[in-house]
């Protein structure tokens, strides 16, 4: 725990953070072109703001989800929070030990064995040798790679690689946990296992930041939400459900809202759409029931009953058998 | 500082192991190359310069070996160091760790190679009837200077290499030039004094010369050599450290 004492406020504080990439400078165009352009006065640097003026703060135990389409600046922002990148403008303050799990499988060495890679990665994540000696068996068991320990890394399938990466990374015991798309690795069975493991870690009271493309997961796990669009902060709110509704509408219309007002409107539009869809499905089913009953044979009646059971179980509660036999 | 070193010790060890394995991956002889390569290199040079160019100074093999010993350590360590950042780009853009560790680990594997070659060098000294004295302990001094200097140059080169990939080609050419300016296989005695002084502008030559004074002449070099070797080492290290400090957070935009 930190030296704060009373309930931890502002474990993470991100204040007006902007991050700029520069394209078209000497690195892009090469030394020769750089000199030529400098001499002829045609040297221009293009700026690209991956994030522009992002502000939010998290208290201890908060779980923040960052949503936004590809290229919205989510991963760049995570790099700034985890301290890998220094923001061009603004500031990031964090209290506590940070574990950032970003793009897990990169950074392994293809020619080292699974065992060697495990130790190397553990070292990179800041574990001690004793800790790795103690946990090594667990890691391999969790990743289900027992028989591959002495294979080189390049012999593994991509699913195995991400399983190993996840298993090493989830040993962390941080105050702040940053997850970039790590809850969706491996096959179905492993995904379930890893999801549970993550929930276990999150339940231990860490402050978390999550980037995920699964809206379901976000609705389930987070209590705050940050929406980015082309590097711009659309909103930062605690109203996760409304925001997710609006975001699902956004994925349909591709028009980002400009104000809280519009977010609310979009959320309502989404609910309306959902209701409409439900209504449409309902009408279809009513028609189907009618058709089945008109046909009158036993399988058709069974199908009609199935639909009724789904939508109006109350109608079937009592004298059901009597009705159907008639 | 000390605490941070201790914290990163495990990572450092693992990185050194990795670099070593990478270096000899797929070779049949593996680490034996550390000894074989400089040895064969020496034999070729010895053959060429005694048979074709007819050098017949006393202890010529030792003279030559002093040069190739220092030179190959310098070349290996700086060329390897140049790659330190770029080849680890996919690590330090994802995980926060001190970037200079990559360079240091590359330098360690070059240093181990150097130490192995040094043993072979002493063996050759015996064959060449060089008398061993306590003065040989002085050799520790240029070795330390070389280590520091190579780290410094590695820092500079690896930082430059991130920004300009042309660095690799330019440095190769520079190495060829420096090789010929380091008096590895020839003697500088036949040049006038003011030209001889110019040679001292080459840090590699200073260290080679230091080795030769101790091993062949059997004496302790003058204070000037000590100052020069240490001066170059500290200066280059400081420039390198300054570059890493200044560009620490810029590297990631360019890899």
Using an 8 Å Cβ cutoff, are A195 and A202 in contact? no
**pLDDT given for residue B90 in this prediction:** 86
Give dist(CA A241, CA A223) in Å, integer.
9
Using an 8 Å Cβ cutoff, are A115 and A78 in contact? no
Both structure tokens of B58: 């006393």
Give dist(CA A30, CA B149) in Å, integer.
29
Cβ neighbours of A123 in B, within 8 Å:
10-11, 13-15
Question: How many angstroms separate the CA of residue B4 from the nearest CA in chain A?
Answer: 11
**pLDDT given for residue B172 in this prediction:** 95
- Tell me whether residue B117 is in a domain: yes
Give dist(CA A197, CA A205) in Å, integer.
14
Question: What would the pLDDT profile of A25-55 be if each residue is shown by its tens digit?
Answer: 666 666 677 788 878 887 777 788 888 899 9
Inter-chain touch A126–B7, beta carbons under 8 Å: yes
Inter-chain touch B18–A109, beta carbons under 8 Å: yes
Nearest-by-Cβ selection for B253 from A21, A98, A126: A21
Give dist(CA A180, CA A101) in Å, integer.
6
**pLDDT given for residue A184 in this prediction:** 67
Cβ neighbours of B14 in A, within 8 Å:
119-120, 123-124
Alpha helices for chain A (secondary structure H): 26-40, 74-81, 114-124, 129-143, 158-169, 188-203, 215-221, 240-253, 260-295, 298-311, 313-316, 320-325
Q: For tokens 């994540």, name the residue.
A: A125
Q: For tokens 């290499």, name the residue.
A: B161
Using an 8 Å Cβ cutoff, are B70 and B147 in contact? no
Position A325 confidence tier, pLDDT thresholds 50, 70, 90: very low
**Considering only CA atoms, which of B215, B97, B233 is closest in space to residue B155?**
B233
ipTM reported for the complex surpasses 0.95: no
Inter-chain touch A123–B252, beta carbons under 8 Å: no
Q: What is the mean pLDDT of residues A243-260?
A: 83
- Tell me whether residue B24 is in a domain: no
As a dihedral over the C-alpha atoms of residue A212, residue A215, residue A219, residue A222, rounded to 10 degrees, the angle is 20
Question: How many angstroms separate the CA of residue B48 from the nearest CA in chain A?
Answer: 39
Question: How many angstroms separate the CA of residue A61 from the nearest CA in chain B?
Answer: 23
Inter-chain touch A26–B21, beta carbons under 8 Å: no
Question: What would the pLDDT profile of A209-243 be if each residue is shown by its tens digit?
Answer: 988 878 888 888 888 999 998 888 888 988 888 88
Rounded to 10 deg, the angle between the A129-143 and A114-124 helix axes is 130
- Tell me whether residue B243 is in a domain: yes
Using an 8 Å Cβ cutoff, are A19 and A85 in contact? yes
CB neighbours (10 Å) of residue A315? 11
Cβ neighbours of residue B48 closer than 8 Å, sequence gap 6 or more: none
Partners of residue A63 on adjacent β-strands? A208
- Tell me whether residue B219 is in a domain: yes
Burial class from Cβ neighbours inside 10 Å (0-12, 13-18, 19+) for residue A19 reads buried
Question: How many angstroms separate the CA of residue B75 from the nearest CA in chain A?
Answer: 24
- Tell me whether residue B7 is in a domain: no
Give dist(CA A27, CA A22) in Å, integer.
10
Cβ neighbours of B7 in A, within 8 Å:
126
- Tell me whether residue B216 is in a domain: yes
Is any Cβ of chain A less than 8 angstroms from the Cβ of B245? Answer: no
Give dist(CA A224, CA B237) in Å, integer.
47
Nearest-by-Cβ selection for A124 from B17, B21, B95: B95
**Considering only CA atoms, which of A97, A68, A12, A89 is closest in space to residue A225?**
A68
Inter-chain touch A31–B252, beta carbons under 8 Å: no
Q: What is the largest CA-CA distance in chain A?
A: 95
Q: What 3-state DSSP class applies to A74? A: helix
Position A4 confidence tier, pLDDT thresholds 50, 70, 90: very low
DSSP A111: T
Is any Cβ of chain B less than 8 angstroms from the Cβ of A21? Answer: yes
- Tell me whether residue B1 is in a domain: no
DSSP A23: E
**Considering only CA atoms, which of A19, A21, A1 is closest in space to residue A11?**
A1
Sheet with strand A89-94: strands edge to edge:
A89-94, A12-23, A46-58, A232-237, A224-229, A63-67, A207-211, A176-180, A98-101
CB neighbours (10 Å) of residue A275? 11
**pLDDT given for residue A3 in this prediction:** 44
Question: How many angstroms separate the CA of residue A126 from the nearest CA in chain B?
Answer: 8
**pLDDT given for residue A8 in this prediction:** 64
Inter-chain touch A123–B15, beta carbons under 8 Å: yes
Question: What would the pLDDT profile of A144-201 be if each residue is shown by its tens digit?
Answer: 888 898 898 888 888 888 888 888 887 777 888 888 877 666 677 888 888 788 778 8
Inter-chain touch B14–A123, beta carbons under 8 Å: yes
Could you tell me the residue range of the domain that residue B147 belongs to? 31-254
Give dist(CA B91, CA A100) in Å, integer.
12
Inter-chain touch B166–A79, beta carbons under 8 Å: no
Give dist(CA A220, CA A208) in Å, integer.
14
Using an 8 Å Cβ cutoff, are A205 and A216 in contact? no
Higher pLDDT, B71 or A267: B71
Using an 8 Å Cβ cutoff, are A142 and A198 in contact? no
- Tell me whether residue B4 is in a domain: no
Q: Sign of torsion, CA A44 A50 A51 A52?
A: positive
Number of compact structural domains in chain B: 1
What residues 36-95 of chain A have any CB closer than 8 A to a CB of chain B? Answer: 79, 82-86
Rounded to 10 deg, the angle between the B140-163 and B60-82 helix axes is 30
Is any Cβ of chain A less than 8 angstroms from the Cβ of B136? Answer: no
Give dist(CA B76, CA B157) in Å, integer.
13
Inter-chain touch A31–B166, beta carbons under 8 Å: yes
* Three-state DSSP string of chain B: CHHHHHHCHHHHHHHHHHHHHHHCCCCCCCCHHHHHHHHHHHHHHHHHHHHHCCCCCCCHHHHHHHHHHHHHHHHHHHHHHHCCCHHHHHHHCCCCCCCHHHHHHHHHHHHHHHHHHHHHHHHHHHHCCCCCCHHHHHHHHHHHHHHHHHHHHHHHHHHHHHHCCCHHHHHHHHHHHHHHHCCCCCCCCCCCHHHHHHHCCCHHHHHHHHHHHHHCCCCCCCHHHHHHHHHHHHHHHHHHHHHHHHHCCCHHHHC
Give dist(CA A238, CA A62) in Å, integer.
10
**pLDDT given for residue A68 in this prediction:** 87
Both structure tokens of A84: 């890998």
CB neighbours (10 Å) of residue A147? 8
Q: What 3-state DSSP class applies to A204? A: coil
Question: How many angstroms separate the CA of residue A87 from the nearest CA in chain B?
Answer: 9
pLDDT tens, per residue, chain B with 255 residues: 677 777 788 989 999 988 888 888 878 887 888 888 888 888 888 888 887 776 667 788 889 899 999 999 999 999 999 999 999 988 888 888 889 999 999 999 899 989 999 998 998 888 888 888 888 999 999 999 999 999 999 999 999 999 888 889 999 999 999 999 998 888 888 888 888 889 999 999 999 999 999 999 888 999 999 999 999 999 999 999 999 999 988 888 887
């Amino acid at each position: 725990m930190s030296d704060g004492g009373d309930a931890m406020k502002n474990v993470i504080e991100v204040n007006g953070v902007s991050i700029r990439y520069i394209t078209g400078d000497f690195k892009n165009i090469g030394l020769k072109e750089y000199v030529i352009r400098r001499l002829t006065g045609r040297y221009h640097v293009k700026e690209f703001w991956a994030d522009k003026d992002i502000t939010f703060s998290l208290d201890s135990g908060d779980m923040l989800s960052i949503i936004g389409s590809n290229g919205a600046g989510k991963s760049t922002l995570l790099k700034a929070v985890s301290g890998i990148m220094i923001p061009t403008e603004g500031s990031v303050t964090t209290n506590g030990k940070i574990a950032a799990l970003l793009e897990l499988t990169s950074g392994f060495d293809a020619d080292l064995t699974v065992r060697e890679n495990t130790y190397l990665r553990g070292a990179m994540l800041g574990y001690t040798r004793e800790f790795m000696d103690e946990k090594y068996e667990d890691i391999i068991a969790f990743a289900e790679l027992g028989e591959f320990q002495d294979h080189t890394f390049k012999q593994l399938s991509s699913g195995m690689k991400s399983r190993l990466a996840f298993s090493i990374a989830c040993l962390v015991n941080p105050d702040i946990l940053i997850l970039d798309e790590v809850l969706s690795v491996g096959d179905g069975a492993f995904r379930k296992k890893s999801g549970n493991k993550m929930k276990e870690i999150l339940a231990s009271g860490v402050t978390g930041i999550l980037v995920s493309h699964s809206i379901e997961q976000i609705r389930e796990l987070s209590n705050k939400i940050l929406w980015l669009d082309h590097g711009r902060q659309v909103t930062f709110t605690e109203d996760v459900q409304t925001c997710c509704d609006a975001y699902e509408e956004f994925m349909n219309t591709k028009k980002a809202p400009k104000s809280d007002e519009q977010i609310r409107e979009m959320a309502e539009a989404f609910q309306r759409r959902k209701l409409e869809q439900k209504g449409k499905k309902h009408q279809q089913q009513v028609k189907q029931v009618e058709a089945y009953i008109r046909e009158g044979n036993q399988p058709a009646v069974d199908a009609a009953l199935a639909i009724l059971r789904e939508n109006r179980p109350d109608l079937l509660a009592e004298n059901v058998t009597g009705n159907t036999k008639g | 500082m000390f605490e941070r070193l201790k914290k990163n010790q495990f990572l450092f060890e693992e990185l050194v192991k990795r670099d070593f394995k990478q270096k000899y991956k797929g070779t049949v002889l593996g680490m034996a190359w550390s000894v074989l390569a400089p040895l064969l290199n020496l034999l070729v040079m010895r053959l060429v310069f005694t048979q074709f160019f007819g050098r017949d100074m006393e202890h010529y093999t030792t003279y030559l070996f002093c040069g190739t010993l220092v030179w190959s350590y310098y070349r290996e360590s700086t060329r390897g160091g140049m790659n330190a950042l770029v080849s680890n780009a996919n690590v330090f853009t994802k995980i926060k760790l001190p970037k200079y560790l990559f360079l240091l680990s590359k330098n360690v594997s070059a240093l181990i190679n150097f130490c192995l070659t040094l043993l072979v060098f002493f063996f050759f000294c015996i064959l060449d009837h060089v008398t061993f004295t306590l003065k040989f302990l002085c050799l520790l001094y240029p070795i330390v200077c070389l280590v520091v200097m190579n780290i410094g140059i590695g820092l500079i080169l690896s930082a430059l290499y991130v920004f300009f990939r042309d660095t690799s080609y330019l440095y190769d050419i520079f190495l060829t030039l420096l090789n010929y300016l380091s008096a590895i296989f020839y003697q500088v005695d036949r040049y006038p004094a003011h030209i001889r002084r110019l040679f001292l502008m080459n840090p590699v030559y200073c260290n080679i010369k230091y080795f030769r004074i101790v091993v062949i002449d059997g004496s302790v070099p003058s204070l000037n050599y000590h100052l020069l070797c240490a001066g170059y080492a500290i200066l280059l290290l400081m420039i390198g450290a300054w570059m890493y400090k200044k560009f620490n957070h810029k590297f990631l935009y360019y890899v």
